[in-house]
Amino acid sequence: MTGTFAGALAARRIDPTGLVGHARGEIELEGQVLVIKRIHVAYSGVEIPADRQDAAERALDTHQHACPVSRSIEAAIQVTTGWAR
């Protein structure tokens, strides 16, 4: 997903150099099997110019739908994204 987000930023003329995705998974026990139920990806490390903030938010809101990994697992695992704070 980080690569897809970097591409979305670059398409909006935002330099993705330094972009890092921090993923956190939430696991639940189903019977005797641990199953990943949710993944949250928080992005950091990229400088967003003040005049490109809206474009960066649009990229964040839409990149997940263009990501092959996210699309492959979305039926089984809830995936959310946001900015690292």
Residue 28 burial by Cβ neighbours in a 10 Å radius (0-12, 13-18, 19+) = exposed
Question: Does domain 2-83 correspond to CATH entry 3.30.300.20?
Answer: yes
pTM over 0.85: yes
Do strands 33-44 and 78-83 pair parallel, antiparallel, or not at all (unpaired)? parallel
CA dist 9 and 82 (Å) reads 14
Q: How far apart are the first and last CA of the chain?
A: 19
What pLDDT score was predicted for residue 61?
A: 96
Ramachandran sector of residue 50 (left: φ over 0; alpha: ψ -120 to 50; beta: rest): alpha
Domains in the chain: boundaries: 2-83
Residue-by-residue pLDDT tens, the chain, 85 positions: 999 999 999 999 999 999 999 999 999 999 999 999 999 999 999 999 999 999 999 999 999 999 999 999 999 999 999 999 7
